[in-house]
Amino acid sequence: MPKKKHQNEIKHPYPIPFVHDRDVPTHDFFENLDLNNSWDIEEALNNFIYDLESDYFLTWEAVICEEEGFPLTKKQKKALGNIVDFGDEWEDERFFYINEIPRPNEPWYEIAKKIVSHLVEKEPFDTTEGGRQIIFEGWPELLEALKKYAIHLSLPETVRSPLEIIPPEIFHQLNLQLCLDWLSGLGQDDELTLENEEQQDRIEDLIMCLKEHKETAKYLNLTLETLLSKVKMPENDEIIFKKLMTKHLSLPSEKVHLIDYLL
């Protein structure tokens, strides 16, 4: 017979205090990084995903919970058990370093919020300038990593899941940016235009993306009119864009809510 889960089994650790003695070394995740620089933002995102996958945050949260006398989750107990060779890292019955890296100086979710806040682009999205790989690939990778690894980490009070640590206005704006990336490049040369029928598949891809993120269309109250206000494209492309969106979604006007037609 399958083993029943104990009703009182701990699933999420308590909110963890990240206030330490001055003598305890800490790691500044953003040291030597300028989040106003696009390359540094990409590096910060990649480093953060790696730290999630490598259990850097999980292991240090386990250590801190042990120090504070908090009950440990199964994942935290396993993480502590994986620390075999203490070496010079174990001093005065405390861990100061793990793999030569000290504990983070703030919770993982505060780091995540700082990163995603710098992923938001100014509107309107200019198709002639193209999109950013960090949105098209990095944003989905971050969401996947949060779903897979952050479920074992601490959460702020009143927050029920890792994705909820991202402010909704930022979460949905990034989802919209992801969808608009399908229009990236329009107007950059004579071939990259919706007048070229080979490029018109972009509209179907955009619609498919919007369907996958219906909650974003609903949250932003998107209409064709408001969607167009968030995009800048050549005049001829905009005219064709309106026609194709109206045709594919059977829109009666530019003012109806898209959520009702993203079936």
Output the pLDDT for position 234.
96
Gap between the Cα atoms of 72 and 64, Å rounded: 10
Output the pLDDT for position 86.
45
Contact 89, 195 (CB under 8 A): no
Contact 89, 17 (CB under 8 A): no
Gap between the Cα atoms of 103 and 95, Å rounded: 9
Output the pLDDT for position 133.
86
- Taking residue 260's Cβ as centre, other Cβ atoms within 10 Å add up to 11
Nearest to 156 by CA among 146, 166, 168, 144: 166
Q: Are strands 90-91 and 94-95 parallel, antiparallel or unpaired?
A: antiparallel
- DSSP type of residue 28: -
Output the pLDDT for position 6.
44
Gap between the Cα atoms of 143 and 112, Å rounded: 11
Contact 98, 59 (CB under 8 A): yes
> Which tokens in the block code for residue 139?
């944003």
In which region does residue 187 sit, left (phi positive, over 0), alpha (psi from -120 to 50) or beta (all else)? left
Gap between the Cα atoms of 223 and 255, Å rounded: 5
> Which tokens in the block code for residue 53?
């996958």
Nearest to 166 by CA among 112, 216, 220: 112
Main-chain dihedrals φ then ψ at residue 95, nearest 5 degrees: -85, 125
Output the pLDDT for position 14.
65
Output the pLDDT for position 5.
45
Output the pLDDT for position 20.
63
Over residues 146-158, the pLDDT tens digits come to 999 999 999 998 8
Q: List, run by run, the mean pLDDT of 10-residue segments along the chain (263 residues).
A: 45 67 88 95 97 96 89 91 58 77 94 97 92 90 97 92 96 97 95 97 98 98 98 97 98 98 94
> Which tokens in the block code for residue 227?
């969607």
**Angle, CA of 223, 226 and 229, to the nearest 5°:** 150
- Taking residue 124's Cβ as centre, other Cβ atoms within 10 Å add up to 13
- Long-range Cβ contact pairs of 76-79 (< 8 A, separation 24 or more): 76/13, 76/152, 79/55
